[in-house]
Amino acid sequence: MLKLTRRAALTATIAAGLVAGTATTGLAQDRLTLRLATAGSETDQRSVAMAQVFAPMVAEFADYQPGYNATLFAQGTELEAISRGNLEMSIASAQELAQFFPEFSIFATGYVHQDAAHQVRVFNDPLMDPFEAKVEDELGVKLLSVMYLGRRHVNLRQTREELDVQTPEDLAGVNLRMPGTDAWQFLGKALGASPTPMAFTEVYTGLSTGAVDGQDNPLPTVVDAKFYEVTSQIALTSHLVDLNYIAFSKEVWDGLTPDQQLTVQRAADAAAAWGRLKQLDKENSLADFIRAQGVEIYTPDLEAFRTHVQAQYVGSEVAASWPEGVLERINELGN
């Protein structure tokens, strides 16, 4: 993966004319267009939060233009697009950031974050400062706020009679779709499965044709993407309390007035908070609906999964990239 310097990102942004008239004066006189790229659908709670909360709050000076279902940029290419000045915003994952800065894998590690509130405490803690500074300085991307995606579980085509998932050993040989970056693939292996990289927009078809045996996502995503139509069971592994960051072009940010910056920051925080509550509500209420669609939902041996997954990270190359003391600090911020 290409690593862009801040200087290259700056040149590209100015060349693209995205912040024309604002970069030198610091006065944002023209209306801005803020395009956001996401692999999520229009009805995904993070998308809804951005459209219903973020967009109206910045409407005085910016037109918000979302591109859903990876129509603007393919999943995993959005950060590079922002860095090159071709995009203003994305809903970015720690796994994607880890492609540029391997230490971000710590936020994508199984059984590290405990819940949504823990994610917020971690994001607001000074431990994030060097992570955020690096992303700004070297990639030209500002991480405005943390969004809650939810507890990821193993969702399979096989019926429970065919495959009862109690421990990681039961996932041996299971062709589990995971998103296509190293941090995701590592997690899939750590769960005991055989991970296959596949873009989110391909997963429904992959499940319906049997190209993959299963996928992992939180319950709201299983419903939003209708994965319940093409799967038979969900083992509630809760292997990753998953998050995304609202990512914003640093060059566009630098072209805003201080008041506009404050408004953008507040809008991002408000959207993240609103989306978090909605997603938690959905997460707590969707199991009955999914069961009614004929999908069995059950809890496996969580201790077996936690122990096995954590053991895979200990002493691994992934863990070698984590700055000293950060895991301990994250754990301290837990319950």
In angstroms, what is the minimal distance from the CB of 66 to ligand KDO?
12
In angstroms, what is the minimal distance from the CB of 57 to ligand KDO?
22
Q: Toward ligand KDO, which CB reaches closer, 44 or 213?
A: 44
Is 171 exposed, middle or buried, given 0-12, 13-18 or 19+ CB atoms closer than 10 A?
A: buried
CA distance 120 to 102: 21
Q: Toward ligand KDO, which CB reaches closer, 149 or 236?
A: 149
In angstroms, what is the minimal distance from the CB of 267 to ligand KDO?
19
Determine if residue 110 is left, alpha or beta; phi over 0 gives left, psi from -120 to 50 gives alpha, anything else beta.
beta
In angstroms, what is the minimal distance from the CB of 211 to ligand KDO?
15
Q: Toward ligand KDO, which CB reaches closer, 86 or 244?
A: 244
- Six-digit token string for 115: 């819940």
CA distance 237 to 83: 35
In angstroms, what is the minimal distance from the CB of 69 to ligand KDO?
9
In angstroms, what is the minimal distance from the CB of 201 to ligand KDO?
8
CA distance 145 to 169: 37
Distances (CA, A) of 294 to 64, 154, 297: 39, 16, 9
Q: Toward ligand KDO, which CB reaches closer, 40 or 195?
A: 40
Q: Toward ligand KDO, which CB reaches closer, 245 or 313?
A: 245
In angstroms, what is the minimal distance from the CB of 14 to ligand KDO?
29
Q: Toward ligand KDO, which CB reaches closer, 227 or 322?
A: 227
Q: Would you tell me which residues interact with ligand KDO (CB under 6 A)?
A: 38-40, 44, 91, 93, 149, 179, 200, 217, 221, 244
Q: Toward ligand KDO, which CB reaches closer, 217 or 263?
A: 217
In angstroms, what is the minimal distance from the CB of 149 to ligand KDO?
6
CA distance 103 to 132: 11
Nearest to 135 by CA among 260, 241, 4: 4
Cα angle 37, 76, 133 (rounded to 5 degrees) comes to 85
Q: Toward ligand KDO, which CB reaches closer, 19 or 72?
A: 72
In angstroms, what is the minimal distance from the CB of 178 to ligand KDO?
7
The residues near 137 (Cβ < 8 Å, ≥ 6 apart) are: 6
Q: Toward ligand KDO, which CB reaches closer, 237 or 260?
A: 237
